[in-house]
């Protein structure tokens, strides 16, 4: 199994993601610079990590969404390769039009960093099948702009089509309908604000993030 983590200027969870995937799955992980125009061959998973790409100038994820490598990420998505955008990576996916909605400033205008309890709303995706029917998970958030927003029609569509994957039990950001993570309509792109890369071993407080990585690579 092969995975790649895209590194943008200002990424700070890229190596966390590499370590989490390697320890959780044993997969080989390549680090890919945002200015590259090719991705490694034979990838099963591409991760857009958390951080502050381009210093969060303009809007979080807006400049990163135009990086050269993103055209290759889009092509990989069209081929059905699994893509996970974590925190800033979720923002990048929304800015690139690869997921609906937007991430706004947190409701209380404060940076939030803590463990969060999540409901697994859809356990049948390629990202959650490894939870084997579990309905809850624990991960951590660390963001200032994690407030998921979409219009009511889009929210209804996401709910109706099973695209809401994770929901906060205690909504820390003010996200619409407490949404913490969504999947694309074709099911191979996941965006979530909580960090599975910070919750992949029991010593970190939770190993639930490992199940996410194991699930997606097992389905490849």
> Domain 2-218: which CATH class?
alpha beta
CA distance 98 to 91: 10
pLDDT of residue 67: 97
Candidate list 28, 87, 94, 113, residue with the active-site label:
87
pLDDT of residue 219: 79
pLDDT of residue 218: 79
| 8 Å CB contact between 181 and 193 | yes
Going residue by residue through the chain (220 aa), what tens digit of pLDDT does each one get? Answer: 899 999 999 999 999 999 999 999 999 999 999 999 999 999 999 999 999 999 998 899 999 999 999 999 999 999 999 999 999 999 999 999 999 999 999 999 999 999 999 999 999 999 999 999 899 999 999 999 999 999 999 999 999 999 999 999 999 999 999 999 999 999 999 999 999 999 999 999 999 999 999 998 777 7
pLDDT of residue 18: 98
How big is the CA angle at 22 (ends 95 and 96), to the nearest 5 degrees? Answer: 10
- Residue 172, CA atoms < 13 Å, CB-side half-sphere: 21
Q: Given CA atoms 46, 50, 53, 58 in this order, what sign does their dihedral have?
A: positive
Q: Given CA atoms 203, 43, 214, 177 in this order, what sign does their dihedral have?
A: positive
- DSSP sequence for 79-119: HT-EEEEETHHHHHHHHTTSSSSEEE--TTSS-EEEEEEEE
CA distance 137 to 162: 18
**Model-level pTM?**
0.96
Both tokens of residue 143? 């963001």
* Catalytic residue list contains 34: no
pLDDT per residue over 56-89, tens digit each? 988 999 999 999 999 999 999 999 999 999 999 9
pLDDT of residue 206: 97
Return left, alpha or beta for 178; rule: phi > 0 is left, psi -120 to 50 is alpha, else beta.
left
Candidate list 13, 60, 94, 195, residue with the active-site label:
195
């Amino acid at each position: 199994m092969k995975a790649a983590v895209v590194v943008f200027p200002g990424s700070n969870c890229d190596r966390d993601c590499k370590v989490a995937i390697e320890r959780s799955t044993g997969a080989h992980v390549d680090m890919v610079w945002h200015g590259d125009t090719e991705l490694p061959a034979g990838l099963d998973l591409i991760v857009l990590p958390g951080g502050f790409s381009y210093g969060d100038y303009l809007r979080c994820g807006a400049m990163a969404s135009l990086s050269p490598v993103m055209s290759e990420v889009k092509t990989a998505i069209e081929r059905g390769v699994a893509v996970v955008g974590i925190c800033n990576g979720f923002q990048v996916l929304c800015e690139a039009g690869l997921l609906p909605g937007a991430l706004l400033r947190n409701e209380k205008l404060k940076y939030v960093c803590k463990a969060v309890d999540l409901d697994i709303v859809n356990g049948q995706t390629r990202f959650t099948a490894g939870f084997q029917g579990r309905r809850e998970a624990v991960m951590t958030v660390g963001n200032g702009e994690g407030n998921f927003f979409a219009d009511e029609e889009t929210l209804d569509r996401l709910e109706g089509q099973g695209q809401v994957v994770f929901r906060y039990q205690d909504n820390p950001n003010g996200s619409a309908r407490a949404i913490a993570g969504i999947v694309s309509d074709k099911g191979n792109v996941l965006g979530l604000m909580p960090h599975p890369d910070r919750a992949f071993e029991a010593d970190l407080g939770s190993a639930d993030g490992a199940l996410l990585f194991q699930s997606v690579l097992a389905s490849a």
